[in-house]
Chains A and B, each alone.
Chain A
């Protein structure tokens, strides 16, 4: 009978070798974890790949992720059950240099591997979408469909060019007059004119991206020329990531309305449908009743050509292709890493202290958080106050543990302080960086000129860079502390006699 299910002989041989030669590594079960992770990931990838999934439809990845999270929790519990069976440290085995750092790293790696499986369904979904649709192809189709529709509806739509006055304002310092009317009275002209549009600098950037005809009157005022919106099929995500130029309203206007010849509507509709069929799911437009399009307020156009359905499909494609773009990827990876980091720290301290001290440490941490929170709210602490308090806590826990760990008797208070110091260690540099920036630069966040100016972006990127360095530095400090100070402290504390 095989010792472990689904495990080939090589895994059992590795297991046997580690048990008899590297017991500390063996107890982490990293070899089994890596193997079962590989098997599971391959199986899950295959399953996600073979299960039919139309990229045009709404993604079901949220359900996969929920199921996956449940499985990960089960996997972590099973891993811990096996992990807690053997303990080199608590059985007073020989601790060699590098053992603690290696052991902790394997805990962390095991948890990262488990958490990483959550990403498999969305990654496979993105991959399957990439196989069927490319961004350039979709943009090209969008351009073609928009031109074809404009040509089809040439006689039905009366194209016009509209001029708007845009005033750039800072909402922090200026509140624009609210007016429900599209026209306003101009004192200088002594007549009613079209009401200006008030935009912030940020909003203006979007406008400039969309429009091609702008005339600046001064630093804060400009004229914007817009034509009829021909973006029947439109998706910002796809357009943003495409190298192929999206046809703007003026481009379509020039292409369609400068040609005075009558169009062959039936032929154009056939051409349109040939492209549109690639994005039709067969769902009725009723499913997209929430869809609102200013081009077609009555809905007549969108329902007759199924534009809601097409737009929705392209939107789904865009979501699937670019769900990893921008900050979402960093947030996802950070979430997995920080969950792994926290759990691995809990596992590490559990493996180095008594069960009672471990749970008392958790209780103490929760109580300190609650009491500190109440005090901070009552005393109206600002961000720097909260961050400062965290620094004080860390220093206190570390110093207290250092002072008491060598006592003749093992004290539960000393153990709690040591555990809390260990858990706070990787976050200490991040807290310090955040506190430094709060103390030195927080005033800048209230300076509108600074926020509007180029220094703001530079500062934000510098701040983020400092935080990223602090994150990496925090992890390195943790590993160094584990191998040096914490190893020594746990050794002193755990082996000491009790009262």
Chain B
């Protein structure tokens, strides 16, 4: 069932998820490409912040509610049913890479990055994730294969790097004020004058950077640096965003926020794009990624789909407050395999679905502290 933007925001509003309300309002206002509406959305966001709505204040002032509804009505008026084109942005065909020094090589690999799609690349350290990303971004030469950028006609590397933006794990240090850097990034791609002011103010507000606008690199935390970097890159309106370990410097909440933002922004009609990112946070990435690649020793060993379930059956992780015997007693009579990594039990079964096994545990009175269905997760392949 498709949820309209209006319904989505109203749902957040009803559940008092004010942070999400504002983020989505800002996103949809940007989609309208209408400066007065974008200004209204920025003003409303500032008003929410001043009222403490982002700090857990559950009471929405009537003025704010009125303002929100007014903006929503404007958005409804302006909203158009723009067909979202999920075309291929990058088509990599059999790319491989061997370094002159060292034994590692990325084996021939093919993949497509579609517009509005997020691809997660997971794998252990040193298995070729970053190499793959750098080849896709045109940073590294490939030994074999081709990378085709569908929207570009006979591009040179300079044009490609304008089209595809790579954010490395270690964000390069920038100088001067955060705000100046954003103005600069917008201006160099032709966003000038009032649009420049408006979009920078929008990005500051959208990524919660308004209070840090006049600070420099050394005055903000690494989490805010990541946010800044994404805001800076988005101002350049790239078609493909490539992020290497973007979650590495972020706390749990910030990771969630960033991933949700990416999910929203890839499908923004203002600048729809494709995203490919690497991460060690399997579950978080799997939640938002449309496709997940697992890379091991330079090979792509898995792509999201039903292969794991078909090959290995159902599986879940569980942490219990009882002894192991309680678990064994509860699952007595079922066909399953169990492994214990010291923290969690991983239970797999070809014969029973996860819900069936879980029901058995609950009915036996096992105290479940943590549970995750990993039937289709790459976690099983690690």
Task: Using CB atoms and an 8 Å cutoff, list the residues of chain A in contact with chain B.
Answer: 19-24, 26-27, 85-86, 88, 91-94, 408-409, 491-492, 494-499
Asked if A20 and B193 sit within 8 Å, CB to CB, the answer is: yes
Additional A-B contacts beyond A20-B197, A21-B192, A491-B156 (16; CB < 8 A): A19-B180, A21-B193, A24-B188, A85-B175, A88-B188, A91-B185, A91-B188, A92-B161, A93-B162, A491-B158, A494-B158, A495-B158, A496-B141, A496-B157, A497-B139, A497-B140
Asked if A86 and B176 sit within 8 Å, CB to CB, the answer is: yes
Can you name 10 A-B pairs with beta carbons within 8 Å?
A19-B184, A21-B192, A85-B175, A85-B176, A86-B181, A94-B190, A495-B138, A497-B135, A497-B140, A499-B140
Residue of B nearest to A491 (CB): B158
A83 to chain B, nearest CB (A): 11
Any A CB within 8 A of the CB of B160: yes
Given A20-B192, A21-B192, A21-B193, is A495 in contact with B160 using a C-beta cutoff of 8 Å?
yes
Given A492-B157, A495-B156, A495-B161, is A23 in contact with B188 using a C-beta cutoff of 8 Å?
yes
Residue of B nearest to A85 (CB): B175
Interface residues as binary, B243-269 with A (CB distance below 8 Å gives 1, 0 otherwise)? 000000000000000000000000000
Asked if B196 and A92 sit within 8 Å, CB to CB, the answer is: no
By a CB distance below 8 angstroms, the chain A residues around B160 are 495
Give the most central of B141, B193, B197: most A CB within 10 Å. Answer: B141
B251 to chain A, nearest CB (A): 29
Asked if B185 and A20 sit within 8 Å, CB to CB, the answer is: no
Interface residues as binary, B181-206 with A (CB distance below 8 Å gives 1, 0 otherwise)? 10111111110110011000000000
Cβ-defined partner of B188 (8 Å) among A94, A491, A496, A498: A94
By a CB distance below 8 angstroms, the chain B residues around A92 are 158, 161-162
By a CB distance below 8 angstroms, the chain B residues around A22 are 187
A363 to chain B, nearest CB (A): 23
Asked if A20 and B187 sit within 8 Å, CB to CB, the answer is: yes
By a CB distance below 8 angstroms, the chain A residues around B156 are 491-492, 495
Asked if B140 and A26 sit within 8 Å, CB to CB, the answer is: no
Given A19-B184, A19-B187, A92-B162, is A499 in contact with B175 using a C-beta cutoff of 8 Å?
no
A78 to chain B, nearest CB (A): 13
Asked if A497 and B188 sit within 8 Å, CB to CB, the answer is: no
State A497–B161 Cα separation when bound (angstroms): 10
Asked if A497 and B184 sit within 8 Å, CB to CB, the answer is: no
Asked if A409 and B141 sit within 8 Å, CB to CB, the answer is: yes
Any A CB within 8 A of the CB of B100: yes
Asked if B189 and A94 sit within 8 Å, CB to CB, the answer is: yes
State A409–B97 Cα separation when bound (angstroms): 13
Asked if A499 and B141 sit within 8 Å, CB to CB, the answer is: yes
State A393–B121 Cα separation when bound (angstroms): 49
State A494–B156 Cα separation when bound (angstroms): 11
State A409–B99 Cα separation when bound (angstroms): 13
B107 to chain A, nearest CB (A): 18
State A21–B188 Cα separation when bound (angstroms): 9
B164 to chain A, nearest CB (A): 10
Residue of B nearest to A409 (CB): B141
State A498–B137 Cα separation when bound (angstroms): 11
By a CB distance below 8 angstroms, the chain A residues around B174 are 85
Give the most central of B160, B184, B190: most A CB within 10 Å. Answer: B184
By a CB distance below 8 angstroms, the chain A residues around B197 are 20
By a CB distance below 8 angstroms, the chain A residues around B180 are 19
Cβ-defined partner of B157 (8 Å) among A26, A91, A495: A495
Interface residues as binary, B74-104 with A (CB distance below 8 Å gives 1, 0 otherwise)? 0000000000000000000000000010000
By a CB distance below 8 angstroms, the chain A residues around B188 are 23-24, 88, 91, 93-94
State A91–B176 Cα separation when bound (angstroms): 16
By a CB distance below 8 angstroms, the chain A residues around B187 are 19-23, 26, 93
By a CB distance below 8 angstroms, the chain B residues around A91 are 185, 188
Residue of B nearest to A91 (CB): B188
Give the most central of B138, B162, B180, B186: most A CB within 10 Å. Answer: B180
Asked if B141 and A497 sit within 8 Å, CB to CB, the answer is: yes
State A92–B180 Cα separation when bound (angstroms): 17
State A23–B141 Cα separation when bound (angstroms): 31
